[in-house]
Amino acid sequence: MKPDAEFFPRDPADHPPASSPVYKSSVLRSPRFPLLSLQNSLSEVTGPVFGAGELGPLDHDLILNYVQTGEPIGERIIVHGRLMDGEGRGLGGMLVELWQANAGGRYRHALDTYLAPIDPNFGGCGRTITDAEGYYSFRTIKPGPYPFRNRVNDWRPAHIHFSLFGSGFAQRLITQMYFEGDPLIAHDAIIATMPDPALRERLIAKLDLKASVPLDTLAYRFDMVLRGRRQTRFENKLQGS
Partner 1 sequence: MDYLPETPSQTAGPYVHIGLIPRQAGFEIFANNLGERMVSDATRGERIRIEGRIFDGAGSIVRDALMEIWQADAHGRHNHPADTQDGTAPDAAFHGWGRTGTDFATGIWAFDTIKPGAVTGRSGHARMAPHVSLWIVARGINLGLSTRMYFGDEEAANAADPVLKLIDPARRNTLIAPRGLREGAVVYGFDIRLQGEGETVFLDI
The interface with partner 1 within residues 42-61 (CB under 8 A) comprises 42-50, 54-56, 59
Q: Which of residues 88-127 bind partner 1 (CB under 8 A)?
A: 88, 95, 97-100, 107-112, 123-127
Choosing from 202, 206, 221, 230, the residue that interacts with partner 1 (CB under 8 A) is 202
Half-sphere exposure of 65 (CA within 13 A, CB side): 19
Q: How far is the CB of 171 from partner 1 (least distance, A)?
A: 9
| Catalytic residue flag (residue 136) | no
Q: Which residue in 10, 89, 161, 187 is the catalytic one?
A: 161
Q: How far is the CB of 225 from partner 1 (least distance, A)?
A: 5
Contact call for residue 65 and partner 1 (CB under 8 A):
yes
| Catalytic residue flag (residue 187) | no
Other beta carbons less than 10 A from residue 176's beta carbon: 16
Stretch that binds partner 1, among 72-80, 130-138, 212-220, 230-238 (CB under 8 A): 230-238
Q: How far is the CB of 47 from partner 1 (least distance, A)?
A: 6
* 144-152, long-range: CB < 8 A, 24+ apart: 144/74, 144/101, 144/102, 144/103, 144/104, 144/105, 144/106, 144/116, 145/105, 145/182, 145/184, 146/101, 146/105, 146/106, 146/107, 146/114, 146/116, 147/105, 147/114, 150/23, 150/24, 150/25, 150/189, 151/189
CA–CA–CA angle 158, 98, 209 (5° rounding) = 60
Q: Which of residues 141-180 bind partner 1 (CB under 8 A)?
A: 161, 163-164, 167-170, 172-176
In this structure, the dihedral spanned by the alpha carbons of residues 199, 217, 95 and 31, taken in order and rounded to 10 degrees, is 30
- Do 130 and 136 contact (CB within 8 A), yes or no? yes
Choosing from 77, 78, 79, 85, the residue that interacts with partner 1 (CB under 8 A) is 85
Q: Which of residues 124-143 bind partner 1 (CB under 8 A)?
A: 124-127
Comparing CB distances to partner 1, the nearer of 19 and 212 is: 19
As a whole number of angstroms, the distance between CA 98 and CA 85 comes to 19
| Catalytic residue flag (residue 161) | yes
Q: Which residue in 80, 127, 156, 227 is the catalytic one?
A: 156
As a whole number of angstroms, the distance between CA 227 and CA 172 comes to 9
Q: What is the DSSP string of 109-127?
A: STT---SSPPPTT---EEE
Comparing CB distances to partner 1, the nearer of 176 and 217 is: 176
Choosing from 36, 115, 152, 215, the residue that interacts with partner 1 (CB under 8 A) is 36
Q: How many residues bind partner 1 (CB under 8 A)?
A: 95
Contact call for residue 70 and partner 1 (CB under 8 A):
no
Comparing CB distances to partner 1, the nearer of 24 and 76 is: 24
Which active-site residues does the annotation give? Answer: 107, 146, 156, 159, 161
